[in-house]
Structure 1
Amino acid sequence: MEVTLLGTGDTTGTPTPGCGCETCVEARDRGVERTRFSVHVHNERTDRSLLVDASPDFRYQFLHHETPLPSEILVTHIHFDHLDGLGNAYRLLSDAPVHAADETDPKTGESVHETIDRKYDYLDAVDPTPQTPFESFRACGFDVTLVPVDHPPLVCYGALVEDPETGASLALSGDTSFGIPARSKAVLAGADLLLADGIVPAHLSEYHPLGGRHEDSEGTPRTFGTKHMTVEGARSLAAELDVGEYRIVHLSHFIPEDEAFEDDMAVDGERYVL
């Protein structure tokens, strides 16, 4: 299993267009980027590739990283920075099963699968395929399991991607607060590599209108507002799940420059062989 981090940023990415903050300047000086979130998982045995979330930066990401176009796609939720790259299927992909959860979202009245089916019905290459959370399905020769996480007001899912031949496993927290259900954590636990959502450090919670939540024993918020983990929350989740290795993703440019490039914070183009 070869995992390539195509996009490791939040909804605006880093550097953010038109932004001259110290973090964006430092990213430009370092020559690194955090484009909108997307992960490429290649199966060397089947020579097929699973794309987890279709970033709006799809074209840019595939031009700048040596990865084959996806054979199948998994979409975790319907926010545009995880979904709107599906439009790139036009003339690039001939047939792409798009796996998405079949649970009805009380907020939208339709499942992630149904939203994709409605929004992209004009693309013959996009083949929406409903999947039931906690029920493993096969994609690109991998066993994939969607698990509910906590990203209000919409339903959102993390995922476990396992190679049934080698036992290698990749866990993705999805966009989530620290309030991930225990059943979902049990599925993600023990993975070889965890990609954990962590948007800003905990000390920035004072600037969020809703503050921070899910404080640890020292009072450090592990959730920023309601939708995303803090950096400390991502680290705490990795420790709790007892994973082999972890990387913090979905990082924003609001992280102060002297904290934004710490060793466990991912940048685009990182590659891991599991």
Structure 2
Amino acid sequence: MKITLLGTGTSQGVPVIGCTCEVCRSVDYRDRRLRVSVHLQVDGKSIIIDSGPDFRQQVLRERIKTLDALVFTHEHKDHTAGLDDIRAYNFTQHKDMPLYGEERVLEQLKREFSYIFSDYKYPGIPQVKLHPITDEPFKVEGVPFIPIRVMHYKLPVLGYRIGDFTYITDANFISEPEKEKVRGSKVIVLDALRHEPHISHFSLKEAVALLEELQPEQAYLTHISHLMGLHREVELQLPDFIRLGYDGLQIEV
């Protein structure tokens, strides 16, 4: 499996509009973070988890020429707003785009992208096929996914385990039974917003503690805000097996 972190930033991205902090002024490419998303190349399939507002920019940067499916963690705009740009794949691949998400999430997509689902199909709109999922394991175009139920404050969100890789973003609580689904993963990508506690995201300290409990071979942090600090400085504070993720980072599992 080849994993590419398409975006590792929080909902505002980094730099933040109007901010002049040292992180937002940094010239280190690792401090420039688009909205969070990940690309998987596994078993001959190309799958993206979440299509945020930067979706077009991300797939162009990584030259992702084919896309077999989109999988959603939850319905927030920073994870769904780029859905319209799948039109290019519809055109080149001559087929509908499979969308996988909980029923609640798919219903939200129907409201926010109502023109996609209207009775009258305007020429050129995205063509999609909806696949409702639950907490039960499922397959994305033949690739097995294990959902990991986490909480984003009071909103239920799904992380996913695909083989030896687990991806969890937008979370600040994982129950013990759900942790058992993650144990044994060789690589974990987990959200860590900032140093200070937050109502709906793990802080750096909380994320590190969870990863030390789960003990993957390697872990990367994502959904990072400008309040985390400079990439090069924060890296020095982390255990050897944990690194900050950055946009464009590629991982082999």
The TM tier, using the shorter chain, reads 0.7 to 0.9
What SS does the aligned partner of 1:254 have?
helix
Once residues 217 and 144 of structure 2 are traced to their aligned partners in structure 1, the CA distance between those partners, rounded to angstroms, is: 19
Q: Is the 8 A contact 1:62 1:69 kept in 2?
A: no
Once residues 119 and 15 of structure 1 are traced to their aligned partners in structure 2, the CA distance between those partners, rounded to angstroms, is: 26
Q: Is the 8 A contact 1:7 1:35 kept in 2?
A: yes
Question: Structure 2 residue aligned with 1:66, among 47, 63, 67?
Answer: 63
**Deviation >4 Å, runs of 4+:** 260-263
Q: Which residue matches 1:265?
A: 244
2:166 counterpart letter in structure 1:
A
Q: Does 1:194 align with 2:188?
A: yes
- Residue 121 of structure 1 and its aligned partner are, at CA, apart by 4.6
Structure 2: segments with no counterpart, 5+ residues: 117-125
Give me the TM-score of the superposition, normalised by structure 1. 0.79
Q: Map 1:1-274; keep pairs closer than 5 Å.
A: 1-26=1-26, 29-32=27-30, 33-43=32-42, 45-46=43-44, 48-93=45-90, 94-102=95-103, 111-123=104-116, 124-133=126-135, 135-162=136-163, 169-177=164-172, 179-201=173-195, 205=196, 224-257=197-230, 259-260=233-234, 262=236, 264-274=243-253
- Residue 261 of structure 1 and its aligned partner are, at CA, apart by 5.2
User: Bigger CA drift: 149-158 or 260-269?
Assistant: 260-269
- Residue 260 of structure 1 and its aligned partner are, at CA, apart by 4.5
Q: Which residue matches 1:108?
A: none
Greater helix share, structure number: 2
Once residues 63 and 211 of structure 2 are traced to their aligned partners in structure 1, the CA distance between those partners, rounded to angstroms, is: 28
1:115 counterpart letter in structure 2:
Q
Once residues 65 and 19 of structure 1 are traced to their aligned partners in structure 2, the CA distance between those partners, rounded to angstroms, is: 27
Q: How many residues are paired up?
A: 233
Deviations 1:219-274 (A, max 9, x none): xxxxx232000011111111212212100000001123374455711110000111
Structure 1: segments with no counterpart, 5+ residues: 103-110, 163-168, 206-223
What SS does the aligned partner of 1:39 have?
strand
Aligned Cα root-mean-square deviation (Å): 1.8
Deviations 1:24-80 (A, max 9, x none): 112xx123321000000012x42x211011111011111112333421011001111
What SS does the aligned partner of 2:82 have?
helix
What SS does the aligned partner of 1:89 have?
helix
